[in-house]
Amino acid sequence: MDFCVLIPYHNDFEDLVRSVNSISYDTGKFCVVIVDDGSTKKLTKYELLPRIKSGVSVSIVRLEKNQGIIVALNTGLQYILDSVNCPYIARLDCGDICDQSRFKAQVSYLNEHPDIDFLGSWCTFTNYSTSESYLYKTPTDHEAIVKEMNFRNVFIHPTVMWRRRAVELYPDNYPHAEDYGLFYRQIKKVRSAILPLSLVTCKINPNGISLKNRNAQLDSRIAVVKAMSENRILSTLGILKIKLLKILPFTLVFQLKKMLSAGLAPSDGIQILTSSTSKPKGI
């Protein structure tokens, strides 16, 4: 088995089905671990298996009560480390869709680059209600990634894949930015890279946890930069940027991304795509 995909789940069955069905790889060479974080209706294989591709190996880990994303993720990671024999572990969220080439590209890259322990990719953010999308671009080599992490999370959560030896549990002291805290901590210990391809389409959910807790998330991002950064100048600039984001409502930030996308430098990471424009191959 080449890799295992970890998916946290809570009352989102149809999006879970779409996400699992978007995983494309050789049958028998991967598995999926789903952590049901106290859903109102417990997720069962009896309900799920008829709706997904045949031959996909699925394990469901149940939390009897809803305990939040950090507990769900750490429970799933620990289960994989204890019970699944595979060299790589990947992430995906309900509602996010993988390009057909995602896992072959990531496994191939890690196989060919044994010095890289942590890998992400570019992604396409999409609001399915409005059909508006933008391509999230980032630096791709480790040194540039380390600098850019002062300003934003270079690794979009559902795009990442770890080498097993590099896996760590998520910190619980950065609410709503636990991924940023973990990834920043990891790039200080291991080498990382980003594939310059949009390999995941991430759903923008106006009613999702991230947007509902945006201010708390931004506060946690500031705490991460303060704790992790080793560059005083870049960290100061990064914190100022995050504080500016706290002043601006998300709707305005999104519109600014759309308006400025065509002329932005690659490091700014935004290229607008709409329902009428061509999307990256396979998306």
Token pair of 90 as six digits: 């990947």
Sole residue written with tokens 């671990």: 33
* Residue 61 confidence (pLDDT): 98
* Residue 70 confidence (pLDDT): 96
* Residue 134 confidence (pLDDT): 84
Could you tell me how far CA 126 lies from the centroid of its own chain?
Answer: 14
* Residue 282 confidence (pLDDT): 36
Residues of the chain with pLDDT below 70 are: 206-211, 249-283
Within 10 A of 247 (CB to CB), how many other CB atoms are there?
Answer: 7
Q: How far apart are CA 212 and CA 175, in angstroms?
A: 13
* Residue 10 confidence (pLDDT): 96
Question: How does strand 3-9 pair with strand 30-37?
Answer: parallel
The pTM for the full model equals: 0.88
Query: In this structure, are residues 90 and 199 in contact, taking their beta carbons and an 8 Å threshold?
Result: no
Structural domains of the chain, with CATH: 1-95 (3.90.550.10), 104-283 (no CATH)
* Residue 259 confidence (pLDDT): 54
